[in-house]
Amino acid sequence: MNTTEKNMAATILRLEDDRVTGPDALRVTRLPAADKGGQWEICGICDGIEPDVFYHLKSLLDAGKKEEAWEGCLQYVLDNTAIVRSWIGSDAHPATEFILRDHYFNSGRKNTGKILQRALNDHGAALAEDGIPGEATRQALQTILSRGNESQFLASLHERRKSFYRSCKQFPVFGKGWLNRSENAYRFASSLV
């Protein structure tokens, strides 16, 4: 894990739990009743979705091995979202990679594929918005990024992400937090351009 990847993963963990600023602040928290990830989480790593990872990390925290738990969280985020880099084709666009990794970690592959396809269509692609980042989506992304103006593309991803959140059934419950997360993620991504 290089420094940029480590910063991306740490930022995603902070976006999941803004009280977690590093290993010493890592903690287990109860999920809201409306959350479908289970009952407990460690920075978005939930007992109901990834129980083996959650309980391993919890056992490290219970044993006072906070540094090891932190490194495990960072690695899990990167492993869980690694496919995003294959869509881009390289590590040359960390800003776009970060926004897509963060949305992937928060909302899953298909939803991330949809916001990506919509943003690409905003920039002249003619893609089906099926949420499956196949060869056509990857080619369009690589072409648009090779043109230069990544900041403009990031702005489209950001708008498409906010639109996605607004369309969710649970927006009345979680919407304010989702939009705050989107703004904070966009701010961090913009610093990587």
Q: How many CB atoms lie within 10 A of CB 20?
A: 21
The topology (CATH level 3) of 83-190 is Chitosanase, subunit A; domain 1 (1.20.141)
**94-107 vs 109-122: helix crossing angle, rounded to 10:** 140
Q: What is the rounded distance in angstroms from the CA atom of residue 159 to the CA atom of residue 179? A: 10
Beta strands in the chain (DSSP E): 29-30, 40-42, 45-46
Under a CB-based contact definition with an 8 Å cutoff, are residues 123 and 136 in contact?
A: no
Under a CB-based contact definition with an 8 Å cutoff, are residues 157 and 100 in contact?
A: yes
DSSP letter, residue 36: S
Q: What is the pLDDT along the chain (193 residues), one digit of tens a residue?
A: 899 999 999 999 999 999 999 999 999 999 988 788 899 999 999 999 999 999 999 999 999 999 999 999 999 999 999 999 999 989 999 999 999 999 999 999 999 999 999 999 999 999 999 999 999 999 999 999 999 889 999 999 999 999 999 999 999 999 999 999 999 999 999 999 8
**135 burial class (0-12, 13-18, 19+ CB within 10 angstroms)?**
exposed
Ordered by start, the domain boundaries in the chain are 3-80, 83-190
Q: What is the rounded distance in angstroms from the CA atom of residue 50 to the CA atom of residue 69? A: 15
